[in-house]
Amino acid sequence: MSMNNTLTFLKNFIRHPTQVGAVAPSSPGLVKTMVEWFDWDSARNVVEFGPGTGVFTEGIVQRLHPDAKFFAIERSAELVAATRSRCPSVTVYEDSVTNVVELCRRESMPHVDAVICGLPWASFSDSLQGEIMDSMLEVLRPGGQFATFAYWQGLALPAGQRFSLG
């Protein structure tokens, strides 16, 4: 992980703490755990929510089936640029994930087989969490795969309570 990407991530966290939920990009161990969970042999339509600087994006690209379609959605222009720089073959939209239905239409994806999500759920209001989940479920095929993660400290926040394991 380059120092430049770490500084870009930190700068975005300071500017937009409710949109960027960590002070540094995800670790290689977290990336490995998340991407190994998916059935890449059968996933042909894949979307990433909140790629940040592209650490998950890079892991996804390495595992995608050659026939798969893939795009990512990120709100921060600076993080979009970082992801595009890291993974130039990937389409990265500067948009809200709540617009995933329209973006899937644009990409000619009638459904999505897998969604990998790096969004800071604990910083979102209940209504935004619901809006994101509704949009995701509208495009995720029945039996499709969805994976996200949350940092423990975020679970102490009221909005993070939805993701409590207890």
Is 87 contained in some domain? yes
Is 42 contained in some domain? yes
Q: At what angle do helices 55-63 and 28-36 cross, to 10 degrees?
A: 40
**DSSP letter (8 states) at residue 136:** H
Q: What is the pTM of this model?
A: 0.77
Answer yes or no: is pLDDT of 58 > 90.
yes
Residue 77 belongs to domain with CATH number = 3.40.50.150
Q: Which residue range forms the structural domain that includes residue 63?
A: 3-18+26-150
Region for 108 from its dihedrals, namely left if φ exceeds 0, alpha if ψ lies in -120 to 50, beta otherwise: left
Is 161 contained in some domain? no
Answer yes or no: is pLDDT of 11 > 80.
no
Q: How many folded domains does the chain comprise? A: 1
Using an 8 Å Cβ cutoff, are 57 and 74 in contact? no
Answer yes or no: is pLDDT of 47 > 80.
yes
Answer yes or no: is pLDDT of 129 > 50.
yes
> What pLDDT does 9 receive?
45
List pLDDT tens digits, range 73-121. 999 999 999 999 999 999 999 999 999 999 999 999 999 999 998 888 7
